[in-house]
């Protein structure tokens, strides 16, 4: 396999064996690349702080960064940290696949990720089970089976759709592998541990920040969320973006999935199994990643903003609904009209972007 291929797709095992050779122990590899262990740990720390550091442009450094970061994440085995990094890799892979013109490379990536594909003119055939397994992206119409052309038990996918399927297959595989229980030899433990302490501490700090929103208090909900809840109580058929916002917000303030489900009880198209699946997918408690709460700007573009209903919203100080909730809830907690909530453990969850 050509070096430029493995540098674009550093997760290809055949290329990795060719690039680094075989028979090298993990400890020896890390000892020889201590410089890259430090750089990978610093890279992870930057991501944990919400920064957007670029991946290395040098081919060898890019591959070593990928391998060593995966070793570190497997060592830490923290879903929150792993997902933040995996989302970055997922994004870069998608952008690379969109530009890929070599069918052989697309097939190599698909084979590595256990996605069977065949070329069909200018499109690709993907078996329906394989397509569905990797098409669980909330509200992405391009990946809904009902919008696909079918042929002999296969989805006829454009290269664009194929890129999305491979992107999701990579994310699922990566998150599964880095969160497996692995026993590291003592020598490897001693090599990695000094570099990852700050990453682990920062992860704990962020999860603590996310828990500091106070007890559940509907009186502190922003007007956008209050309107959605009111419509659902009246039996209105709330839009998908509205439902998505509701789930992400309630999950973010610590409401368990079963409690979130209760808000959907009066919607006309309520189906328990489907709603449960969608909630698990959005909150990351199923096989998906945890989605972040939309910002005020996003809600405004979707027609879900009602800032004129509250002076705090209309003041221009609020750019995110969670900021509104935090300010209001801190003010209301002294009144004593709130109750506690059984919070979801955040230790094995993730979000695409930390809310302000």
What pLDDT does 346 receive? 36
Cα 96 to the center of its chain, rounded Å: 19
Kindly tell me if the per-residue pLDDT of 353 is higher than 50: no
Q: Which domains does the chain have, with CATH numbers?
A: 1-77+181-209 (no CATH), 212-335 (1.10.579)
2-21 pLDDT per residue, tens: 888 989 999 998 777 776 66
| Contact (CB, 8 A) for 80 and 347 | yes
Distance CA 227, CA 214 (A): 22
Mean pLDDT on 72-82: 85
Characterise 240 by phi-psi region: left (phi > 0), alpha (psi -120 to 50), beta (else). Answer: alpha
Where residue 49 falls among pLDDT bands split at 50, 70, 90?
confident
User: pLDDT digits over 199-253, tens only?
Assistant: 888 777 766 665 555 557 888 899 999 999 998 888 888 888 999 999 999 988 8
- The overall average pLDDT reported for the chain is 83
Is the alpha carbon torsion for 29, 30, 34, 39 positive or negative? positive
The strand pairing partners of 127, in sequence order, are: 154
Half-sphere exposure of 63 (CA within 13 A, CB side): 19
From the CB of residue 257, how many other CB atoms can be counted at a distance below 10 Å? Answer: 18
What local confidence, expressed as pLDDT, does residue 354 receive?
36
* Cα–Cα distances in angstroms (integers) from residue 72 to residues 15, 39, 88, 165, in the given order: 21, 11, 16, 27
């Amino acid at each position: 396999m050509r070096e430029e291929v493995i540098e674009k797709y550093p997760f290809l095992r055949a290329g990795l064996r060719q690039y680094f050779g075989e028979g090298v122990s993990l400890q020896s590899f890390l000892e020889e690349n201590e410089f890259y262990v430090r750089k990978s740990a610093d890279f992870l720390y930057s991501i944990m702080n919400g920064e957007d550091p670029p991946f290395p442009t040098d081919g060898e450094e890019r591959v070593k960064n990928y391998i060593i970061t995966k070793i570190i994440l497997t060592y830490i085995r923290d879903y929150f940290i792993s997902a933040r990094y995996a989302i970055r890799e997922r994004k870069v892979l998608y952008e690379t696949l969109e530009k890929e013109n070599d069918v052989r490379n697309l097939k190599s990536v698909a084979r590595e990720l256990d996605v069977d594909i065949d070329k069909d003119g200018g499109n690709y055939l993907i078996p329906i089970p394989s397509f569905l397994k990797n098409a669980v992206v909330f509200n992405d119409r391009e990946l809904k089976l009902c919008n696909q052309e079918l042929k002999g038990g296969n989805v006829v996918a454009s290269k664009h759709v194929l890129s999305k399927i491979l992107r999701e297959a990579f994310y699922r595989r990566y998150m599964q592998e880095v969160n497996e229980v692995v026993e590291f030899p003592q020598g490897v433990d001693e090599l990695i541990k000094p570099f990852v302490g700050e990453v682990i501490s920062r992860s704990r700090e962020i999860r603590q920040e996310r828990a500091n929103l106070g007890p559940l208090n509907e009186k502190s909900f922003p007007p956008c969320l209050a309107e959605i809840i009111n419509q659902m109580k009246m039996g209105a058929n709330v839009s998908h973006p509205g439902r998505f916002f509701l789930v992400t917000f309630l999950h973010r303030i610590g409401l368990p999935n079963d409690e979130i489900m209760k808000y959907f009880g009066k919607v006309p198209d309520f189906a328990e199994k489907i709603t449960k699946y969608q909630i698990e997918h959005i909150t990351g408690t199923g096989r998906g990643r945890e989605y972040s709460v939309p910002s005020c700007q996003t809600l405004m573009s979707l027609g879900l903003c009602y800032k004129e209903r509250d002076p705090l919203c209309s003041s221009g100080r609020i750019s995110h609904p969670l900021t509104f909730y935090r300010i209001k809830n801190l003010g209301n907690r002294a009144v004593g009209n709130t109750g506690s909530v059984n919070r979801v453990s955040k230790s094995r969850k993730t979000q695409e972007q930390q809310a302000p």
